[in-house]
Amino acid sequence: MPGTTSESTEVPILDPTSSSNEEIDPSVDRDRIRVVCEGLVASGVVRELT
């Protein structure tokens, strides 16, 4: 699309179960991210993961 730019900003993924808002490294902690996301779906915070 002419005139369209796209910028990619890396967004930190914070562990909601951490008392210190520990950041999760997506290149290493894929299983941990999956478990956190499944917990968000189960608790109703988000509807589904795509």
pLDDT digits (tens, 9 = 90+) for 16-35: 778 898 888 888 888 888 88
d(CA 38, CA 22): 18
Q: Which pLDDT value is given to residue 48?
A: 78
Q: What is the pLDDT of residue 1?
A: 54
> Residue-wise over 22-46: b if at least 16 C-beta within 10 A, else e?
eebeeeeeeeeeeebeeeeeeeeee
Residue 5: which pLDDT band, with cuts at 50, 70 and 90? Answer: low
Query: What pLDDT is stored for residue 40 in this prediction?
Result: 83
Closest of 49, 27, 28 to residue 37, by C-alpha: 49
Q: Is the pLDDT of residue 8 over 80?
A: no
* Full-model pTM: 0.49
Alpha carbons 41 and 35: distance in angstroms, whole number = 10
